[in-house]
Amino acid sequence: MNQVVANESHNEKLLNAIVKRMVEKHGCHTVFLYGSRATDKFEPDSDFDICGFRDEETAICDCVVLTADEINSAGEVSITDNTGRAQEVSVIDKTSTAPPKSSVTDKTGGALLDAWIYPVSLALQPDESLLRLRNSRILIQKDDLGERCLENVEKLFLRGPLPLPDWEKQKRQLWMKKTLGRIRRNDLEGRYRALWLLHSALEYYFELRGKWYCGSKASFKWLEEHDREFLGQLETALANPLDHDALASVIEGVTP
């Protein structure tokens, strides 16, 4: 597929269009860019992961392709409260938060936006769903809400998840062994369960060790640095999910 390499001017328009949609369509006053686009480690087809906070108590998702026309025609962002008065919102320096100069959009010049919109209460008391905001970039914020949110997220991460009770650990280990037995039948259900087992094994590895599971990409990076043996076992099984011996090695590696 042909790609459009965005220049600095396009990046600023793109960022403005994203913020404008979050503000005017969803009423957000604090907006983050997170994921690969925030860390400059994206692929050409990576979407723009966005998280916004607003005063409404409902949470919604907005997944849409911003067209080149929407990006180029986006004007200045107007942020008002429910009385129509302008809100005090800080726009972070676009030179430090815009997608990098090598940013790539689709062949039409558009961009895929994957946005989550939450109430302010979650920013003040985040749960594990907001751990993905670590290493994110604040695009706009009301007062210092964005900075406070990131501070709360980091505290949650450092505190770690609640320990699994022993019965829960045993349950997960038994489930993996039982699932492997079902996989050995080599039927359609067994082949499906092989993929299910590998997906769950990565999460279980971290949960059984009292660590947050922060998604596959972050997990692979952590394993590369701290447990290359298990990463190798996982790679071997993923290359051939019906290799029963490889699956057994993964199960053994998951167990602390």
Question: What's this model's pTM, rounded to 2 decimal places?
Answer: 0.81
Q: List, for residues 113-139, the tens digit of each pLDDT value.
A: 999 999 999 999 999 999 999 999 999
Check residue 51 and give its pLDDT: 97
Residue 11 has pLDDT above 80, yes or no: no
Mean pLDDT lowest among 4-8, 30-34, 84-88, 136-140: 4-8
Q: How far apart are the first and last CA of the chain?
A: 44
Q: What is the mean pLDDT of residues 79-97?
A: 44
Domains, the chain, in order of start with CATH, read: 4-159 (3.30.460.10), 166-254 (no CATH)
Above 90 in pLDDT, residue 237?
yes
- What's the whole-number mean pLDDT along residues 141-145? 94
Mean predicted confidence (pLDDT) in 79-86: 44
